[in-house]
């Protein structure tokens, strides 16, 4: 089965299950207040981290460096804010993991290691030097 389709089906099922279980333990009103509180705090912190990332990106640009990490980080913060707005505890946990810089950097490092090309692959090129020699006798018409 397609992993994306499986995720689309399983995430709401897990969220509903956790909402019912936690709601039965702490009460429905407390659960609703907790969901709204995590959304508000998360979006506020996402705004704060997003502005820090933007500031860092402009600093990189002023030094004539490519702000690659800042661009990826900004996209991750926007995704984290979306995850925090969606009601649920699993999405909130994942959103908070993406917002905090330390955990975001650890997640990025894991992804880079996963998608980095292997060192033992054979390269399809030959290194060498060449010299261009122009001679009128070598030209054929």
Question: Residue 133: what pLDDT?
Answer: 73
Per-residue CA distances from 73 to 10, 33, 57, 97, 115 (Å): 26, 29, 10, 12, 17
Question: 28-41 pLDDT, tens per residue?
Answer: 999 999 999 999 99
Cα-based angle 27, 31, 11 (whole degrees, multiple of 5): 125
Mean pLDDT across 46-74: 92
Q: Give domain limits for the chain.
A: 14-113
pLDDT category, 62, cuts 50, 70, 90?
A: very high
Mean pLDDT across 64-84: 92
Question: Residue 41: what pLDDT?
Answer: 93
Question: Residue 136: what pLDDT?
Answer: 64
Instruction: State the chain's mean pLDDT as an integer.
Output: 87
Question: Is pLDDT above 80 for 1?
Answer: no
Greater model confidence, 114 or 19: 19
Contacts of 121 (CB under 8 A, 6+ apart): none
Question: Residue 114: what pLDDT?
Answer: 84
- Is the pTM of the predicted complex or chain greater than 0.85? no
């Amino acid at each position: 089965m397609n992993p994306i389709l499986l995720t689309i089906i399983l995430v709401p099922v897990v969220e509903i299950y956790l909402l019912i279980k936690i709601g039965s333990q702490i009460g429905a009103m407390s659960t609703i207040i907790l969901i709204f509180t995590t959304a508000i705090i998360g979006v506020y912190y996402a705004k704060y981290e997003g502005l820090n990332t933007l500031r860092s990106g402009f600093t990189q640009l002023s030094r004539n460096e490519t702000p690659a990490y800042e661009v990826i980080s900004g996209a991750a913060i926007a995704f984290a804010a979306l995850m925090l707005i969606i009601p649920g505890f699993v999405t909130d946990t994942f959103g908070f993991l993406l917002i905090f810089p330390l955990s975001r950097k650890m997640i990025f490092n894991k992804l880079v290691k996963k998608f980095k090309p292997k060192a033992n692959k054979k390269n399809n090129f030959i290194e060498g030097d060449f010299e261009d020699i122009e001679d009128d006798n070598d030209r054929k018409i």
